A and B are shown apart, each in its own frame.
Chain A
Amino acid sequence: MSLIEVEGLAVHYGGIRAVKGIDLRVEEGEVVCLIGANGAGKTSSMRALAGLLPAAAGTIRYAGTDITALPVHLRARRGISMVPEGRGVFPRLTVAENLRMGAYFRTDSAGIAADLERVYGLFPRLRERRAQTGGTLSGGEQQMLAIARALMSRPRLLLLDEPSMGLAPLAVQTIFETIRLIAAQGMTLLLIEQNARLALESSSRGYVLEGGRIVHQDDSTALLASPKVRAAYLGA
């Protein structure tokens, strides 16, 4: 049984049919990426998985139950955590408060304290800046904070929307090293990336979206080698 399984998902956004019926699944422990041009429907698909956009058609099954109509906060409480495009750091909460928001629905204070140590270990920069407000961080630090905050909920499925967007090359490198580390620890990941090469190199499987439909799907190594994908998305 897949951790998340989508059938015939359609999503309308801003009066257009952004996603026109896609099927996809992510197995427990897998890292899967969605690639495609701007406006291909990647973000709309992911937002529908998290519950930020309603499904116009189709079903979303998560851990064996149909969650198509479940509101966003209840999906979060069941273990679906999303780092949105643009990071979504709370600008006037401190770094520590942002992280506590990640553990908002948890009640195991010992576990929360342990996880806080874990994410500070993963991102030592955040520990240094824990008393600063989120809005004063650099883009790379905000992305670290957004990922760390998502981890504070102990997700079963982590959705990452464009983690490299707007970051300096060095920061992108740091973020992706951490993403690979998190994946190596067994986290199930669905990743959207504008930078298709980076996405395919960090994942085991990939889906290629075009005009709201899935046009290719394969192992990431196969997609990296595919002449079509290379021509359209890898600039080679």
Chain B
Amino acid sequence: MDVLLQQLVNGLILGSLYALVALGYTMVYGILELINFAHGEIVMLGALVSVTVLGVLVAAGVPVPLALLLALAAAVLVCMATGVLVERIAYRPLRNAPRLAPLITAIGVSIVLQNLAMILWGRQYLSFPPVLAPQVYAWHGASVSNVQLLIVAVAALTMGTLLLLVQRTRLGRAMRATAQNREVAGLMGVDVNRVIAATFAVGSALAAVAGLLIASYYGIAHYNMGFLLGLKAFSAAVLGGIGNIPGALLGGLLLGVIESLGAGYIGDLTGGFLGSHYQDIFAFFILILVLIFRPSGLLGERVADRA
């Protein structure tokens, strides 16, 4: 089996998931200059809600494709509502406060959501119902499953839809205008509060999709899964240039590939001293390197003076 090709394939799959989550960070940062540390918990909610709804529906004999769609719809609704509510209750009152206040609030919201999920779902790992019969294809010495292909397809479709929304619609133009100059957007007749709420709703919908896909990728969901995932996706957003949407896509994919390659080769590199379970260090190693050498990220232009 070709290790390099296999790790590249794994990396792109994982990276497409990071990219979905990173988009949520970058959209909110772009419009509010706020690092929404609670975003990882929204992904976690999406995973738990979709796993739960899927389990109930499948047990009730609902056909799998329909059950998957309904589970996704439920996750999207719950995540959007939570995201919008968090913005309204926790962030909007601090809109004009010093930058540190909403940042600490975001960490607080993250802890609240985690504990809420622990109370609702318990501490145990929920397993993703085995609704998709895995079928593995071999390709030039690497293997990829139908489930993985479906994950990449859904992630790509979701991101394509987001790009269309941001680039081609009236709401997308209002979002970009608000991100570039909130005051002047108001002068144009844009209800800035609604556009900011819509940004949280869209980012949370992406998080819901990511939650379902990540639960199916790893086969489990857990109240604590959002934390590390959120940090990694945030690193991906910074790597690409936070606030920059193509940057989040690029950063997510790159981080996934780097992490997979790292996991595949770390044993060889360190003479067996570190095993593949140290793969998580790569995300943060990259984050540190980016912050030192290119603080505005690969595609970012204007962050250095703001963050």
| Chain A residues proximal to chain B, CB less than 8 Å | 50-52, 71-73, 76-77, 81-82, 84, 88, 90-93, 97, 100-102, 104-105, 149, 153
Contacts and interface: CB of A to CB of B under 8 A. Distances in A.
Contacts of B174: 101, 104
A108 to B, nearest CB: 14
Contacts of B170: 104
8 contacts: A72-B186, A73-B186, A82-B187, A84-B184, A88-B183, A100-B173, A101-B177, A105-B188
A166 B173 CA distance: 28
B180 A93 contact: yes
A152 to B, nearest CB: 9
Contacts of B124: none
Given A82-B187, A153-B189, A92 B173 contact: no
Interface bin, chain B = 10 to 19
B186 A97 contact: no
B176 A73 contact: no
Interface in B244-290: none
B78 interface: no
A50 B191 CA distance: 14
B188 to A, nearest CB: 5
Contacts of B173: 93, 97, 100-101, 104
B183 A84 contact: yes
B135 interface: no
Contact of B189 (A52, A76, A100): A76
A32 to B, nearest CB: 20
A47 to B, nearest CB: 9
B181 interface: yes
Contacts of A105: 188-189
Contact of B181 (A77, A81, A90): A90
A71 to B, nearest CB: 8
B180 A92 contact: yes
Given A90-B176, A104-B170, A104-B174, A73 B189 contact: yes
A81 B191 CA distance: 15
B189 A90 contact: no
B185 interface: yes
Given A97-B173, A100-B173, 19 more contacts: A51-B186, A52-B187, A73-B186, A73-B188, A73-B189, A73-B191, A73-B192, A76-B189, A77-B189, A82-B187, A88-B183, A93-B173, A97-B176, A101-B177, A104-B173, A105-B188, A105-B189, A149-B188, A153-B188
Interface string B86-113: 0000000000000000000000000000
B247 to A, nearest CB: 13
